[in-house]
Chain A
Amino acid sequence: MNIRNIVAGLAILVLVTFSEKATGQDAPAHAITNVTIHLASGETLSNSDIVWRNGIIVDIGSDLDIPFDVYTIDGGDSLHVFPGLIDGLATWGSPEQPRNLPNLEDPGNPPYDRAGVQPERKPVHYLNEDKSISAAMKAGFTLVGLGLDGQMLPGQVQPFNLSSEQLTEAHLFSTSIGLQGSFDTAPGGWGSGAYPSTQMGVMAYFRQLMYDAAALQEHMNYFEKHPDMPQPEHSEVLEALFPLINADIPLIFEVDSKEEIERLFRLQDEFGFKTILVGARKAAPLAEELKNRNISVIASLDVNDKPKWMTDAEKESKDSENDKDGEDKSEESDELSEEEITFRAKQEAAWNSETQNIRSLIDSGVSVGFSSAGLSVKDLQSKITLLVDEGVLTTTELLKMMTHTNADILGLSNRVGDLKVGMGAHLILTTGPLFEKGTKIHTHVSQGVINDFMEN
């Protein structure tokens, strides 16, 4: 064997070794072929394929060179692929709130947890198995910002890939993306409750927390440079507020009414933190202000049903078209008092305004995503139908809210929220257009993990 042969042999060995490494450590690729692909923008790619490997989209389009090791799902030219839906904030799997809390010796100075202040909590350490997660998966959700049930500062918000009813560290999509917050008062009733027990108390308590955290952070900074000074006392609660003070993460704050949002503005003006509104069901009057403050909303779709008298009137109106005996019924409405007639007019205006809330926010340029915010998946479809039927939102807008915009608001849009090469494989294969009655989720893919619902 001459030198040339030895070199050639080594070269082949190296090539084989590396190529083995390239394929040996990769999971097999997956592809869905021959489908209509819908992007977050609403743009569609017909007769197209999508390929992912190791949880990342590696190719998308028509007539792709499908890798040899791919596991393929054939869409048969009739199925659709959408980006996986994202729920901006849910508390699935959160442990139940403790009941029968013991009375405190000094309710005015409760430990942080009894005041409803637990910003150090990370959901991953607390989550229970929850059937709501599989229900959400079956509705098309592949990623969620998970928080915990609680009060003023219940904990951190962590994004999870949705592929199991029991979420663990293995499902974490990234580190914490914000602190959860609300104006909820300390837990407990008269016997076991604590300060703060009112919204004004929550605001004052929040301020003091921020002052205390700022002082501790300053002390720790000083100590780092001057270890000969008195050592700061560590506090995992106050230290968990440092990223908020430093505007590194937002306060993801659950709030609905105009007045409460204005109160949140006061706190923001004082401390300069970033914030995202959750719910915001009556935020429309403040749309311009939200836009000016660059505050995004992960909105609740939980609009109220029409007042019964409105649906009855619509039904009567339809009936009277077919029934000439409608005169008696109109006499009945004439019997209403002036007060009630006025009340109804105001109520109708209120319903229209509440229903148009998200529209007003979007039209004002506010970035609006979606949060289930306590609304069950079961009720979600009926609310979507209502909003689409009333002309408030199109299905394309809803798709964008629940995918790209949500990812953008949560700071994750470089990795999820659309179907592009390099993004996480979060997608759903459906039997028809999304949000339409009768459409079923055929296959659910979360960061590349496949759940085939048609098999079950």
Chain B
Amino acid sequence: MKKITYIFIIIGVFSVSAFAQDKGSVFIENATLVTVTDDIIENGDILITNGVITQIGTDLSAPAGVTVIDGTGKFVMPGIIDAHSHLNTVSTNEARNPVTAEVTMEESIDPNEVSIYRALAGGVTSIHLMHGSANVIGGQGETLKLRYGSTQDGMRFDGAKRTIKFALGENPTRVHGQGNGILPRTRMGVEQIIRSHFDEALDYRVKREAYLSAKQKYESDRRGRTAPPVPVAKNLRYDVLNDIIDGEILVHCHSYRADEILMLMRVFNDYGIKNYTFQHANEAFKVAPEIAKNGAYTSVFADWWAYKFEVYYSTAFNATILNENGVTNSINSDSNELIRHLNHEAAKTVRYGQTSEADALKMITINPAMQLGIADKVGSLEVGKQGDIAIWSGHPLSIYSKVEQTYIDGTKYFDLANDPVDMRIDISSDDNYEESFTTGFIKGREADACMSDVFQLIQE
């Protein structure tokens, strides 16, 4: 009998993958709806049809055949969005060159990482899977929906803007300057790396376009009087840098100190780059008005600091100060442990800085959605948006509340009432039960998650 039970559980686990890409329909009635972009709706109903929110209000009726959830006493809010995560990377840092714009986390997704399920249990539905901070210009990011049990392609967030990681300060100077004796060794060098690479990219574009134009002319000249051009090879790195300059890629920049934050804004103004986000930004509170004036965003920790020298000057009021100054700010995790309770991290802004509950919730929903270019699709409960939601047992900012169910595109990916004892997938026949259990388990807050695999490399 016991064996039959477990086989049933396993079938349940793998059935996740069977419907991983499906769009679901569900009707939740009589719940408190935390819309985020509008007022809270008491005793509200919400209908998700084929993955899209189609009705929000009170006294609605469930269409025939749609699953009905009794939301009495529950809170429904948009799925949490983590703007800074390395949750399921295959590798995080291509740390061998100060500029690696050509690499992309799109090709470093592990869809089988059990931490995805744990994040779902914290009400998270989307993450920004980021390159690490070893390089001044690191790799491109990938925004994911946490469709656990799906494929690496199946996890991608269709229509999300392209992003890229920049990093200032100690990490790139330590890895490349101190580590390899090359630029950048100082913060001045970091600026120079950015400027010189943008200039090289612009120069390349001129040459490449001239070549393509001459080639077209040569190939269309049937009389053979035109000389062929010397080919200029497509350059993946420079193409990406030009896409940044053209506004097609959103920059998310690892940064801590106020002076380097100001530096990057000067550089970006020189190149006409807009719509960028400072990640971590522990000293952003010092230059909040300047950040607001430049229309830049911030994505910060609630109260995590002092893990290296440049992160000592920090305050738990950072998020509140930024918010009060009109900066669109999000609270992120950068950690496979913190991501499970980003609601608590947002709640700290209420506790420390008396930020309004509404604004605190924006910091883990619509604000990160704006920073990732997906605010037209998720981040709030609005008709027409995608059905990425979480049902909470109580107010999401309460320490006592738990996530009861998490939906992506109207499909349920987490259910506290049906939470199997072991949700690991893609187990190998030579895995060791003890070891694979412990290595897969959450180790707590890592000192500097953005650098994790670089430290491993150094130790080799």
Contacts and interface: CB of A to CB of B under 8 A. Distances in A.
B36 to A, nearest CB: 34
Interface string A201-238: 10110011001101110110010011011100000000
B39 interface: no
B457 A211 contact: no
Contact of B180 (A107, A199, A204, A214): A107
B262 interface: no
B367 to A, nearest CB: 28
Interface stretch (A154-162, A240-248, A258-266): A258-266
B21 interface: no
B206 interface: no
A207 B152 contact: no
Interface in B204-239: 227-237
A191 to B, nearest CB: 9
A339 B231 contact: no
A226 B227 CA distance: 8
Contacts of B235: 208, 211
Given A342-B6, A347-B429, A197 B107 contact: no
Contacts of B437: 339, 343
A346 B434 CA distance: 14
Interface string B361-383: 00000000000000000000000
Contact of B2 (A222, A263, A306, A341): A341
A262 B151 contact: yes
Nearest to A333: B2
A200 B139 contact: yes
Interface of A is mostly: helix
Given A198-B108, A345-B7, A350-B428, A215 B421 contact: no
Contacts of B236: 204, 207-208, 211
A200 B103 contact: yes
A198 B433 contact: no
Interface string B411-438: 0000000001110110111110100110
B94 interface: yes
Interface residues of A, number: 56
B103 A201 contact: yes
B448 interface: no
Contact of A200 (B99, B104, B180, B460): B104
Contacts of A195: 94, 96-97, 100
A198 B93 CA distance: 8
A347 B427 contact: yes
A429 B133 CA distance: 62
Given A226-B227, A339-B421, A304 B429 contact: yes
B231 A215 contact: yes
Nearest to B151: A262
B111 interface: yes
B47 to A, nearest CB: 35
Most A Cβ at <10 Å: residue of B99, B229, B231: B231
A259 B111 contact: yes
Interface in B85-117: 90-91, 93-100, 102-105, 107-111
A207 B10 CA distance: 40
Nearest to B175: A190
Most A Cβ at <10 Å: residue of B3, B7, B100, B460: B100
Contacts, number: 163
Nearest to A222: B228
Nearest to A260: B90
Interface in A39-65: none
Contacts of B104: 200, 204
B64 interface: no
Contacts of A273: none
A208 B457 contact: no
Given A193-B457, A208-B236, A351 B90 contact: no
Given A211-B234, A218-B231, A342 B420 contact: yes
Contacts of A347: 427-429, 431, 433
B316 interface: no
B11 to A, nearest CB: 10
Contacts of B430: 304, 307
Contacts of B98: 108
A307 B153 contact: no
Interface string B1-43: 0110011011000000000000000000000000000000000
Nearest to A213: B233
A197 B95 contact: yes
Nearest to A309: B433
Nearest to A109: B97
Nearest to B224: A225
Most A Cβ at <10 Å: residue of B9, B102, B437: B102
A214 B457 contact: no
B182 interface: yes
B389 to A, nearest CB: 29
A259 B453 CA distance: 20
Contact of B96 (A196, A259, A262): A196
A342 B422 CA distance: 7
Given A196-B96, A219-B231, A259-B152, A342 B421 contact: yes
A198 B103 contact: yes
Interface of A: 105-109, 186, 189-190, 193-201, 203-204, 207-208, 211-212, 214-216, 218-219, 222, 225-226, 228-230, 258-259, 262-263, 266, 304, 306-307, 338-347, 349-351, 354
The 5 A-B pairs of least Cβ separation, nearest first, read A108-B97, A215-B233, A351-B429, A195-B96, A222-B228
18 contacts: A189-B460, A195-B100, A196-B96, A197-B95, A200-B94, A200-B107, A204-B94, A208-B102, A208-B237, A215-B233, A259-B90, A262-B153, A342-B420, A342-B421, A343-B436, A346-B422, A346-B425, A354-B429
